[in-house]
Amino acid sequence: MMNNCEQCVVKNKAICSALDPDELIAINRLSRKVSIKAGQALIWEGDDSLIVANVVEGAFKLTSSLADGREQIIGLLYPSDFVGRPFGDRNEYTVTALADSKVCVFSRSDFDQFVREHPDLEHKLLQRTLVELDRVRRSMLMLGRKTAPERVASFLLEMSDRLADASCSVVGGSLQQFALPFGRQQVADILGLTIETVSRQMTQLKKNEVIALPDHRNVQILDANRLHDIADAGSS
């Protein structure tokens, strides 16, 4: 199962971009490309940390659950994102594909060693981890202190930042359209709400003409300023 970093679609965005051609060949030998079907798990909460990976294609959710099934999504991963827990022996959360996906997998021990031998790669990894930490801390403010309307508005804005479809957005205007890569239950699990509350908030925003919903997966932001106001103070 030979794959080729040279041709990798994420080679310029993933942490591998820290490597020169020789090093790419070396890391190439440690990796294998794996396809994962939507709904399939790549890593399970509580398992030993045996693999790490780069997301090449698709999308993943990172979740943690309580004994009775309550679930919280604690992260989302897109192409070029890094998955797994290097330099640690336990995975503290489950990683599941949201769509049919491809990842570039390494054994954790191989990867750890390779990283220690390549400081530039380790630096990239550190930078990513720091960015992720900032993002996660922002979610803590949301989960701990924001109201339902504030949560939904913040969520839509963050999604539009990450997913804004260039072909549909009007440059200089506030019109933006994007497709959520998941259904209402997952949105609820990201926001720490129930599916019903998410649904009600969405229809409320639609009624107020802040957003339009061509269908359940697609969102069009009609009034980004308003959405920002709601996200930061809930002044509906």
Which residues are near its own copies by CB under 8 A?
A: 62, 64-68, 70-72, 74-75, 85-88, 92-93, 116, 119, 122-123, 125-127, 129-134, 136-141, 143-146, 189, 191-192, 232-233
| Residue among 9, 130, 131, 213 that touches DNA (CB under 7 A) | 213
Does residue number 200 form part of the binding site for DNA (CB under 7 A)? yes
Cα-Cα-Cα-Cα dihedral of 26, 27, 29, 33, to 10°? Answer: -150
Does residue number 175 form part of the binding site for DNA (CB under 7 A)? no
SS3 147: coil
**Residue partners of 75: CB distance under 8 A and separation at least 6:** 61, 62, 93, 132, 136
Does residue number 233 form part of the binding site for DNA (CB under 7 A)? no
What residues pair up with 104 in beta bridges, in sequence order? Answer: 33, 54
Tokens 């399970």 belong to: 44
203 interacts with, out of its own copies, DNA, none, CB within 5 to 8 A per kind? DNA
Q: How far is the CB of 150 from DNA (least distance, A)?
A: 7
- State the Cα–Cα distance between residues 224 and 169, nearest whole angstrom: 12
Residues contributing to the site for DNA (CB under 7 A): 147-149, 183-185, 192-200, 202-203, 213, 215-216
